[in-house]
Every structure is written in C-alpha cells, then in structure tokens.
Structure 1
Amino acid sequence: MRLTHVAHLRLPFGPLLSYEVAVSELGRPLPVSFDQRRHVGAGDRDGSWMAMAFRLSEPVSREDLAAAWLAVIAAHGTLRSAFVEDDDGRAHLHEVEIGAGAWVEHPVGPGQAMNDALRELLDGACTPYARPSHRLCLIETAAGPTLVVGADHSHVDMWSMLVIARDFLAALDDQRSGRTPTPARVPSFAEHTQALMDRPKAPEEVHRRWAEVIEASGGAMPRFPLPLGEPTMQPERVEVRGVLDIDGLASFTARAHEAGVSTLALTVSLMTDVTRELAGTALRTVFPVHSRYEPQWHDSVGWFITNSVLECADASPRSAAESVKEAVRLGSWPLSDVLAPWGGWPEAPGVFAVSWLDLRRLPVRIDAGGLEAMYVSAMMHTDGVMLWFIIDDVGVHLRCRYPDTLEARANVGAWLDALVGRMSSR
C-alpha cells in the first residue's frame, strides 16, 4: 500500500460528501500524551491530519456507510474524545459522546480538482481542536464509492488507519448482511497514555545518550546534514519514489540476511555511507518508534508512535544494527522525563526524521490491492526533512517531504539519488 500526498491523489469525479456526527458536551478529562500535547499545542491549522483512501467495487447506501462508521467510533475511545484549550493556551482532552448525524454535500467548484476539494474539506474538519477531529468522506460514482477517512494526527497513526479501515469494512459487511455492527471494544489510547505515565523513569544511561546526540546536533533534535536554504517555514516539496520492486526486495533482503542484519539495519548502513560521503558527518536522525509494547494495544486506535534518536557513525551493517537497537531502546521511555532538561522538544529548523513501516510485519491487514487503498498525507509548510520508507508485499517505496528551496532540491535530491542507487544496486 502506497503512501501518497493529497496533491497527488487520483480521485474519481462525483458528489463529495462527508458524514457530520452529533457531538455531546465535554465529559470527563483524559490524560494527554507528550506527543499529543506538542502537536495540539501548535493550534488549529491546515495540514495537521492524515487519511486513508479506498474504493468499494459496488454501490453502497449512505445509511449503511454511516452505520458502519458509527460502529467504528463506538469501538475506539480516541474517536470519542476532543481537545480544548484553556486560557493559558494549554491543551486538555475530554471524553465526548458521538451520535448519529447527517450526510453533508460539499461543493466542487468549476475547474476545481477533486483532490483540492477534498483537501479543503479535511483541512477544515480535521484540526486539533475540532469536535470531533475526524471525518468520513465519500465520493459517489456509479461503479461504487470512494471513501476517505481523515483524522487529526493527535488521534491516529498509520497502524491505526489500518485498524479503522479493517473495522469499518467488517462493520459494513455486518450492516449489509442484516446484522448489527458490533466491533469489539478494545483498550483506548487514553489508557495507554496513563500506562506510559505510570512507567518507571528512564535510567541514567538513557538520559546520557539522548544528551550526547542532542549536543552533537547543536543542542537540538538531529538536522539534515546539508543546507536547505532559508531556515524558515517554506512550501513543501514532496517526492514519492519507487525503490525496490518485489524481486529487488527479495535480493535486498537476502543481502541483509547474508550480513546477519535486518533490512532496516542494512538501509541505515547505506544512509550512513551516503551521509558520510556527501556531508562528511555521522548519520543522526529523529527516529519514530511505535509504543504498542504489548499485544493488547494491537487493535486500538491512537497515536502509538513516539520518537527516538538514531546515531550511526560506522557504515558497517553490524554497527548499523546496533544503532537501530539503541534507537528502539532510547524511545522506550516517557519523553516528558527524558526531554525535561530542554523544557520539552528541542527543535531547530532543519529537523531530519526517518520513519520505517514494514506493513508485512503488522498484525493488521486489509486487501490493499483490491481496495486500491492508499495512505494520504496533508499539504503543509515545512523547514525540515521527513523521510518515510514503506515496505509491503510488492516492494519498497519512499516518500520525502522537504522545503521547496533551490538548495533543498539540490541537496536532498542528491542524498536521495545516492541512497536509492545504493539500495537498488548492492
């Protein structure tokens, strides 16, 4: 399943609708995770959402679609919560009750592309402080509906989008078969947040390694090692590149096996080599890791991604494997404690982050090919570089977001060219 961008998304033409649910007044307060507070604290803005798009092969009634969506909401606590801002600008999370609503049609202007109309809809509906900050969208065609589920990132991650799609399709099948959709209740993300808060504080060695990497990065999170131009927010440039087809992935996996490491470790080895060659420095990146430490969280929806840092100076596969293990370990502790010496997330322009998602290893699957399912990211401004690797049954592709400046085009482009070349030829 590909990770694409809303500007690149190919959508059929037809009526564009979304299902607006009924929302109660705020209920009991819920704990807020470190990453949620950082994300929501930036306020309502365009492009804070993520989405999944998929197509059904035959027409489905709006009533059945709405019933399936309400069943998904009933199963997942984070979809029944909303953020509010207090007088000091601090975000608080509360339970809300969600009830049946109505389908609303959104006009598509003359000459307006469908993906632009969808982007405007999601930018308006899926903001951090929206109630709720998620929306089921529908494009009706004679061949069947195209569905887009969007949500503010504070409530979902990419794994969660698979859970939502799977549960929605199961509920829809129940609804169309005359059964009442009743997805199993699963632990909520708020329960996970509280469990993480209750964990022991990080040991001294973890604090020390975080401090060493941050200090080596100039007192902030790791930054892309080549110039990106003016260090201010810029319109984004997004590239999606095929890296390995199914045969290339098999060959790459065999090479990793021969070296005694994972495909991720071999990729980190090559990134280290490229960084040393082009920038003359070690590889340092922000490295997202999931926090679904126990199987009980596998079927839950929420932002189960926290961040770590990865540092690799030696391009040998074995050294890269040790760097990956260390990054996973460094990301296994509450960040509010780890980053307290810097007053929170020490960010500077040019942050460099690398994300790795191997869909083959997830315990949640959908028929991505039959559904033409795609992850969809939003349009935004950026001053840093974010790189995603997506691995599935048909190969490897990457998606990279960076500031659309002449320097970034040249330097990020050269870095990507060298990396893809090494991955596909070694």
Structure 2
Amino acid sequence: MRVTTLDRYDPAPGRVIEFVPSAATLTAADGTPASPVPPSLNQRFHLETERRQHDGPRHWLACAFDFEGDLGSSRAICPEALRQAFVHWVRRHETLRSGFRPAPDGEAIERFVLPAEAFDLEPREVGDYTTTDALRAYVAKRLDEACRALSWPSYLFAVVLRPGSATVFCGFDHCNVDAYSLAIAVRELGACYRAVAAGSEPDLPAVGSYVDFCALEQEVVASPPTRDDPLIRRWADFFAACGGTTPSFPLDLGLAPGERHPQGTDTRRLLDDRAADAFERACRDAGGSLFSGVLATVGEAAHRLGPGDELRLCVPLHTRHEERWTNAIGWFTTVAPLTLDITGGSGPGRPAESEEALESADAPEGEESAESAALSAFTTRLHAARTGFRTALDLARRPVAHVLAALGDEFTRTRDDVFMLSFVDYRRFPGSDDFAPANAHHLSAVTVADDAQFWISRTHEGLFLRSRYPATPAAEATVLSFADALGEAMTTHTRGPYRGTISAS
C-alpha cells in the first residue's frame, strides 16, 4: 500500500458516483439517543481542535484502490453490488455508525450510535470528469466537505467508473480511523464486493467494536496519575529536554516561532524489495529488527547532518493488543516519547569518523577496516535504538492526555505539529499481496505545517518514505538532505557481509 498525499496521486478520469446515507438513515441518526460511551482520549483532543478551528485545515485519511473491469458491465461488478458492499461493511464496524454532536448543555460533546439495521446507502450520480486534475480537485473538495468530526457521516464513499476499470475512494475524518484501518478497508471492501457479486455472504473474521474499546479505555483512565507518578516524572524529563514542549526536528526549518507555512511533501522509495530484504537481514544479523534498524539509520542520517548526540521524537504505536481489535476499524493508536543515542559509539564530543575515513581501503593492520567500522557503528546505533524504544514503550503506558494534565504549566505547546516518525510494515496485513495489483494507496490531505514529520512503510515493493514539512527554502533543503542521508545510510547497510546473499527470485 503506497503512502502519499492526494496531490501526488493520479487517478484516471471517469464517471463518479457517491454512496450517501438514505433519507431514512439520516432521520434515524437524528433521533438516536446519546451513548454513555464518551469519545476516546484521541477523539476528545481531535474534537476539541475541530471545535476550535472549525474552518481550519481538515484532518482526513483516505484510501483508494482499483477494481479491474467496467463496473456496470455484465463481466464485472455493478454499482449496486458496490453499494451493498459498503452497507454490509458499515454495519460490521460500529464506529462508522457512531457520530458526535454537542450535548444539550452546549458545552460537552456526546456520542450516538446508529443501530446496524437502520443504516443504508443510496447512489448519487455526480458526473463525468474528463481529466485527472479535475477529478483530483473534486475528490479533495468532497473529502474536505464530508470528513468533519462534528458532522455525520464524517466519511465519503465514491467510485470512479471507466471502461476496463474502476477506482474506489473512501475518506474518513481521523476520529474514525488510523493507518491500519485503511489497509483493513481495502481488504474487507474487496471481499464484501466479491461476495455480494457472487450472491453470497462475505466471509470475514469476527471483529470487535471500537466503541467498546473506548468504553474500556474510559475505565482504565478514570483515575489519572499525578505528577508524582514515576512514569509521569520520566515524561516530564523528556519534555524538559525538549525545552518544556514537544520534540522538534533538530535542524533549521526556516520558521520563526508561531509561524506555519503551506505543507511541502517528499515521497520516495528508499530501497527496492531486494535491497530492503538485505537491509532487514542486516538488522537481524546485528541483533535487531527492521524497525530498530530504521531507527538506527534515522539516527545515523541525523548525526551526519550534525544535530548533536541525541535525537528526541515521538513514535505512534498501535493499541490493537487483543485479537478482537485486529480487524476493527478505529483510531487504535497512542504515542511514545523516544530518545535515541545517535553517536554510533563515537561518544559525546567526539565526532564520528568522516566519510573519507570510512571509505578508506588501506586501514593499517590491527585497526578496523572501513567496512567493519561502519558495521560496528550501525550495530551500536541499532542496540541503542532497541534500548530507547523499550523505554518509550514503557512510558507509552501513560496516555499523553493524562501526562499533559499532570504536568500543567510545566508543559507549553509551541507548535501544532510534532517531530515524529511512523513505521508500518504492510506485508503483515492479511491480503497484502493484493495491494499492489489493486493500486492501493493511503492518501493524506495537503495542509499547513510547522515541523517535519516522516512516514516509513515497508511493502512488497520495497521501503518507502513520505516526508511532510513547512515549504520554506530552508526546510526543503534540510528535509531533502535528511531523506538523502537516510537512503544512503540504508543502502550502505545492505552491503558488506551481506553481499551476494540477496535472492534472485
């Protein structure tokens, strides 16, 4: 599944149909009583932001994927089968029948949940789009309009029909989904469609409800920790090392305090599939995993550009720790504060060996060769990454919302964005072999930015990077240099002892 932004996605033009709730469904939603289950911590923060910045940038996530054949022809799927597939899928996932609205007091926000049997969709003809630019502009406009946390439904379903193929778009306000949910959507909607078209019931695994997850979370967080809690103290130390705020990208982005700029985006493949396999073997041979190797090379790339001996950032983590959440749609994420030692064993105040030294083939006898020195530094960084990540996992047991409440005035938010790195291995998802043939994409909006953020994804086609940053000349140069250095570091560690071990298949 390719991770990119909508402006980098090029759908073929065609005839557009949306699938929207029926009048009866909307009437039923208006009359649905309030649920006792409050928004999750993630949803609460998101809803408060939506209320405060109602006309601000939209925070939606979307997926797009293709069906072969002409929807509506006798040899392939028809729009009615697709409509039924969407209906079955929404009835399966309670959170998509859950919405938010102001409570009667006008202050609080309450949840409501529409019963499954009350949900239905109907097709709405939109029209023909004859160019990719026009189609993309329509999709962007409709996603911004439809994907709003305080409206229902806060998502958009549409299909683009053309001779020989069709493209499905599903966009969601962030309160409904996370990145994993998009991959689940691609697989399950395909399965729902195929079953409906064949006149059978979709054969999908049992699934839990994100609304139930929110209820359980409420029980767990009902008694928030105090400032004396040991984990809160360690969170406080992390923020203090960041200047009393969230971590920021450690290199110059050309922004004055409080400034935001239109978003810049860079998407690239860091390693092809064979090279990514070699890099993963290098990570495992060094005693780590692909993720710890990614963190090690992120630290190496940062250290090459000179930000210091430690790198502080946030790492999103999934919270799908029970089997019932594995296939559930919802916002199952938390954040961990990560501190990386990025020296590679060079030690504080001592610069790492220069590129020239590492490339020298004439190291005197008894000293490390360039190859072994590079491997030693990589291994050191990888082990430091493993240690740092284990610490971060421990701290993530305290949700950020509770941490900030406990810290009070000790913490000040100085930027809207947070320097973070997300990693998803899409090969682990059931049905991932179908993502490339279906041209499956994870799409994000293009908004504004005041810090750098990075998404690394492993697919069957390789290792990919998406970078988001404020589009200033300084940030453009800095972030692209960082991405270049990251790719070079990874490429370096596919060589050496691993040469000749790559499968030809």
Verify same fold: TM over 0.5: yes
Q: Determine the C-alpha separation between the residues in 1 that align with 2:168 and 2:12.
A: 11
Worse overlay, 17-26 or 144-153:
17-26
Partner AA of 2:413 in structure 1: E
Conserved 8 A contact 1:264-1:356: yes
Match of 2:395 among 306, 330, 339: 330
Worse overlay, 48-57 or 346-355:
346-355
Match of 2:455 among 355, 375, 388: 388
Deviations 1:260-287 (A, max 9, x none): 0112112212222333342125111111
Query: What corresponds to 1:95 in structure 2?
Result: 113
Deviations 1:159-196 (A, max 9, x none): 11122222222221221112255856622112112222
The answer to whether the aligner puts 1:56 opposite 2:67 as a matched pair is: yes
Conserved 8 A contact 2:236-2:407: no
The answer to whether the aligner puts 1:151 opposite 2:172 as a matched pair is: yes
What SS class does the counterpart of residue 192 from structure 2 fall into?
Answer: helix
| Pair 1:291–1:161, CA change in 2 (3 A) | same
Q: Number of residue pairs matched?
A: 426
Conserved 8 A contact 1:229-1:408: yes
The answer to whether the aligner puts 1:81 opposite 2:81 as a matched pair is: no
Query: What corresponds to 1:125 in structure 2?
Result: 146
Provide the TM-score with structure 1 as the length reference: 0.93
Partner AA of 2:448 in structure 1: H
Match of 2:125 among 69, 88, 105: 105
Worse overlay, 42-51 or 62-71:
42-51
Query: What corresponds to 2:281 in structure 1?
Result: 254
Deviations 1:81-130 (A, max 9, x none): 11113566543322134532322233567875311111111111111112
| Pair 1:281–1:318, CA change in 2 (3 A) | closer
Q: Determine the C-alpha separation between the residues in 1 that align with 2:218 and 2:303.
A: 38
Q: Determine the C-alpha separation between the residues in 1 that align with 2:283 and 2:154.
A: 41
Q: Determine the C-alpha separation between the residues in 1 that align with 2:161 and 2:341.
A: 52
Partner AA of 2:436 in structure 1: G
Provide the TM-score with structure 2 as the length reference: 0.79
Deviation at 1:28, TM superposition (A): 2.9
Deviation at 1:302, TM superposition (A): 0.1
Worse overlay, 165-174 or 184-193:
184-193
| Pair 1:110–1:297, CA change in 2 (3 A) | closer
The answer to whether the aligner puts 1:220 opposite 2:238 as a matched pair is: no
Deviations 1:189-242 (A, max 9, x none): 121122223237669332122111111111111111112223422110111011
Query: What corresponds to 2:218 in structure 1?
Result: 197
Query: What corresponds to 1:347 in structure 2?
Result: 413
Worse overlay, 198-207 or 130-139:
198-207
Query: What corresponds to 1:27 in structure 2?
Result: 33
Partner AA of 1:122 in structure 2: L
What SS class does the counterpart of residue 41 from structure 1 fall into?
Answer: helix
Match of 1:288 among 303, 307, 316: 316
Partner AA of 2:267 in structure 1: V
What SS class does the counterpart of residue 292 from structure 1 fall into?
Answer: coil
Segments of structure 1 that go 5 or more residues without pairing to the other structure are: none
Deviations 1:34-66 (A, max 9, x none): 111111222144431111111111222211111
Q: Determine the C-alpha separation between the residues in 2 that align with 1:192 and 1:164.
A: 19
Q: Determine the C-alpha separation between the residues in 2 that align with 1:329 and 1:155.
A: 26
Alpha-carbon RMSD across the aligned residues, in angstroms, is 2.3
What SS class does the counterpart of residue 135 from structure 1 fall into?
Answer: strand
Q: Determine the C-alpha separation between the residues in 2 that align with 1:196 and 1:258.
A: 38
What SS class does the counterpart of residue 129 from structure 1 fall into?
Answer: coil
Worse overlay, 329-338 or 392-401:
329-338
| Pair 1:155–1:215, CA change in 2 (3 A) | same
The answer to whether the aligner puts 1:317 opposite 2:382 as a matched pair is: yes
The answer to whether the aligner puts 1:303 opposite 2:309 as a matched pair is: no
Query: What corresponds to 1:421 in structure 2?
Result: 488
| Pair 1:227–1:3, CA change in 2 (3 A) | same
Q: Highest CA radius of gyration, 1 or 2?
A: 2
Partner AA of 1:207 in structure 2: I
Segments of structure 2 that go 5 or more residues without pairing to the other structure are: 72-76, 345-380, 494-505
Q: What percent of counterpart residues are identical? A: 27
Partner AA of 2:319 in structure 1: S
Q: Determine the C-alpha separation between the residues in 1 that align with 2:333 and 2:119.
A: 29
Deviation at 1:342, TM superposition (A): 3.8
Query: What corresponds to 1:17 in structure 2?
Result: 17
Worse overlay, 102-111 or 291-300:
102-111
Q: Determine the C-alpha separation between the residues in 2 that align with 1:324 and 1:224.
A: 18
Deviation at 1:309, TM superposition (A): 1.0
Query: What corresponds to 2:369 in structure 1?
Result: none
Q: Determine the C-alpha separation between the residues in 2 that align with 1:62 and 1:167.
A: 17
Conserved 8 A contact 2:421-2:453: yes
Conserved 8 A contact 2:316-2:336: yes
Conserved 8 A contact 1:48-1:128: no
Q: Determine the C-alpha separation between the residues in 2 that align with 1:264 and 1:189.
A: 27
Deviation at 1:334, TM superposition (A): 3.4
Deviation at 1:313, TM superposition (A): 2.1
Q: Determine the C-alpha separation between the residues in 2 that align with 1:324 and 1:387.
A: 17
Match of 1:373 among 440, 461, 475: 440
Query: What corresponds to 2:503 in structure 1?
Result: none
Deviation at 1:363, TM superposition (A): 5.0
Query: What corresponds to 1:70 in structure 2?
Result: 87
